[in-house]
Amino acid sequence: MADKVSVSKWVVLLGLFWCLGLNVNASSTAALRDFSVKGFHLDLRIQVMKMPALKAFVLNLSKNGINTLVMEWEASYPFEKHAVISNKYAYSRAEVKSFIAYCDSLKIDVIPLQQSFGHVEYILKHYRYKDLREDQKDYSQVNPIREERCKALFSDLFKDLISTHKSQYFHIGGDETYLLGRSPESKRKADSLGMGRLYGDYIKMLCELVVSLGKKPVVWADIALKYPDALKSLPKQTIFIDWNYGWELDRFGDHKKLMQSGFEIWGSPAIRSHPDNYFLTDWAKHFNNIKTFIPQGKELGYKGMIMTSWSTSGIYSQIAESHSDYIDLHAIRRVYPISGFNLLIDGFFNAVSSEKPFNPNEFVEKYAVEKYGFSRADAKLFWNALKLAPYEVNQGKVNKPNFTIKQLVDSALYTLDTFKKLKPLRAQQEFEHYTLMANIRYNYLVTMEVEVALNQPTFKIADAAGLLKKLRTLNTAEVDKQFRKLNTYLLFDKEIEEETRLRNFRYLDLVDRLNKLK
Same domain, 346 and 378: no
Same domain, 419 and 503: yes
Same domain, 131 and 260: yes
The pLDDT assigned to 15 comes to 40
Is the pLDDT at 178 greater than 80? The verdict is yes
Same domain, 375 and 311: no
31 found inside a domain: no
CATH code for position 345:
3.20.20.80
Same domain, 452 and 334: no
Answer whether the bond into residue 275 is a cis peptide, omega within 30°: yes
Is the pLDDT at 283 greater than 90? The verdict is yes
Report the domain count for the chain: 2
Q: Tell which of 297, 329, 353 closes a domain.
A: 353
The pLDDT assigned to 33 comes to 60
Is the pLDDT at 67 greater than 50? The verdict is yes
The pLDDT assigned to 320 comes to 87
Same domain, 394 and 446: yes
280 found inside a domain: yes
Q: Answer for the pair 206, 117: CB distance below 8 angstroms, yes or no.
A: yes
Range from 96-100, 311-315, 342-346 carrying the lowest mean pLDDT = 311-315
Same domain, 145 and 278: yes
pLDDT tens digit sequence for 354-399? 989 999 999 999 999 999 999 999 999 999 999 999 999 999 999 9
Q: Tell which of 336, 353, 370 closes a domain.
A: 353
Same domain, 321 and 411: no
Give residue 224's Cα distance to chain centre: 20
pLDDT tens digit sequence for 309-318? 999 988 899 8
Is the pLDDT at 424 greater than 60? The verdict is yes
pLDDT tens digit sequence for 207-220? 999 999 999 999 99
The pLDDT assigned to 28 comes to 38
Could you list the beta-strand ranges (E) of 209-299.
216-220, 239-243, 264-268
Domain ranges, residue 420: 360-517
476 found inside a domain: yes
Same domain, 393 and 504: yes
* Band of pLDDT at residue 14, cut at 50, 70 and 90: very low
User: Taking the alpha carbons of 254, 260, 263, 267 in that order, is the dihedral positive or negative?
Assistant: positive
Same domain, 312 and 386: no
Q: Tell which of 353, 379, 397 closes a domain.
A: 353
Range from 21-25, 259-263, 334-338 carrying the lowest mean pLDDT = 21-25
Q: What residues have CB less than 8 Å from 299, skipping those under 6 apart?
A: 13, 16, 32
Q: Answer for the pair 389, 411: CB distance below 8 angstroms, yes or no.
A: yes
7 found inside a domain: no
407 found inside a domain: yes
pLDDT tens digit sequence for 470-511? 999 999 999 999 999 999 999 999 999 999 999 999 999 999
Rounded CA separation 133/179 (Å): 10
6 found inside a domain: no
26 found inside a domain: no
13 found inside a domain: no
Give residue 113's Cα distance to chain centre: 13
Give residue 271's Cα distance to chain centre: 7
Is the pLDDT at 168 greater than 60? The verdict is yes
Please state the rounded mean pLDDT for residues 224-237. 95
Same domain, 141 and 253: yes
Same domain, 138 and 259: yes
Q: Answer for the pair 259, 283: CB distance below 8 angstroms, yes or no.
A: no
